[in-house]
Amino acid sequence: MIGQLRGKLLSKKPNVLLIDVQGVGYEINIPLTSFYELPDEGNEVTLKIHTHVREDALILFGFHSLREKEFFLKLIAISGVGPKLAITILSGAPVHELARALAEGNTARLMSIPGVGRKTAERLSLELKGQMAAFVLPEQAEAINASGAPQAIEEDILSALINLGYPKPAAEKAISLALRKDGADRTFEGILKNALRQLAG
């Protein structure tokens, strides 16, 4: 598998570039965040590479930093998120902003990215929220730990419960009780689980 390429940047577009590596031209898909970091055409460039193998194709995805590549790998590990959608998500904001949105369960921020619907945003948040410590900025980590349950999380949980068929008044009451519980987990997943327990009980 190709993990890194260094060569002459022959051409670049916002989503794809062409690199000459010892006479071989490699077409590489990139997110916008990496595009902004590229040098001018004709200069040397080094990119971290993910090689995606399909039955009918071998596709290269490139990243300006290892951190960006690792975040991409986290995204494609989620069911329903393929490499192209992951590149779209990475193009929507810097890694630290996406990581904070995931850590806080801010599905509205994720849904503002084209191609990301509510179900995908909720799945990403639920499965990745506890894996974002390495991707947020230090000051963001402190804010996330101190924020408790931001209003955005409560709104997203309310929407999720309504989509599950619970009446809005009952869902609001369950969320309120979940938040008042001593020692409650105040993450998106924790509040949702406690609210569902309230509704079931």
Domains of the chain: which residue ranges? 1-64, 73-134, 148-200
Confidence of residue 86 (pLDDT cuts 50, 70, 90): very high
User: Six-digit token pair at 197?
Assistant: 């327990």
CA angle 115, 32, 79 (to 5 degrees): 40
Helices 83-91 & 95-104 angle (0-180, nearest 10): 100
Region of residue 183 (left: phi > 0; alpha: psi -120 to 50; beta: else)? left
Residue 61 clears pLDDT 80, i.e. is over it: yes
User: What mean pLDDT comes out for the span 93-110?
Assistant: 89
User: What mean pLDDT comes out for the span 180-197?
Assistant: 76
d(C-alpha 100, C-alpha 144), whole Å:
8
For the chain, give the number of residues: 201
116, 110 Cβ separation under 8 angstroms: yes
Please tell me which residue, 190 or 70, carries the higher pLDDT value.
70
Residue 65 clears pLDDT 60, i.e. is over it: yes
Mean pLDDT across the chain = 86
pTM above 0.75, yes or no: no
Please tell me which residue, 188 or 124, carries the higher pLDDT value.
124
Q: Which residues contact 33 (CB under 8 A, 6 or more apart)?
A: 64, 68, 90, 91, 93, 94, 95
Residue 104 clears pLDDT 80, i.e. is over it: yes
DSSP 9: E
pLDDT of residue 156: 78
pLDDT of residue 54: 83
Region of residue 141 (left: phi > 0; alpha: psi -120 to 50; beta: else)? alpha
pLDDT of residue 168: 87
Asked if the 1-64 domain carries CATH number 3.40.630.30, the reply is no
Q: Which 3 state secondary structure label does DSSP give 40?
A: coil
d(C-alpha 181, C-alpha 77), whole Å:
33
Asked if the 73-134 domain carries CATH number 3.40.1800.10, the reply is no
In tens, the pLDDT along 10-41 reads 999 989 999 999 999 999 999 998 999 999 99
The arrangement of secondary structure in 148-200, i.e. its CATH architecture, is: Orthogonal Bundle (1.10)
In tens, the pLDDT along 111-121 reads 999 889 999 99
In tens, the pLDDT along 131-188 reads 887 887 665 555 555 454 455 677 778 888 888 888 888 988 888 888 777 666 667 7
Confidence of residue 1 (pLDDT cuts 50, 70, 90): confident
Closest listed residue to residue 192, CA positions, set 172, 181, 177, 178: 178
